[in-house]
Amino acid sequence: MDLLRRADCDYGQGYLFCRPIPAVAFEQWGNMWEPEQLLSIGA
């Protein structure tokens, strides 16, 4: 994550954020997700 931030990357996808899930589950996950949660992960 730190590398992406330093590169001014505003978007991301993949297993770093979430495993593949059905569309309905994704909508629920997206409504609850907060970008600040990534700050504790680091890279």
Residues with Cβ within 8 Å of residue 30, at least 6 apart in sequence = none
Determine whether 2 is exposed, middle or buried from the number of CB atoms within 10 Å of its CB (0-12, 13-18, 19+).
exposed
pLDDT at 11: 74
d(CA 6, CA 4): 5
- Show the low-confidence residues of the chain (pLDDT under 70): 35-43
Q: What domain range is 15 assigned to? A: 2-40
pLDDT confidence of residue 37: 59
Rg (CA), the chain: 12
Number of domains in the chain: 1
The whole-number pLDDT of residue 20 equals: 85
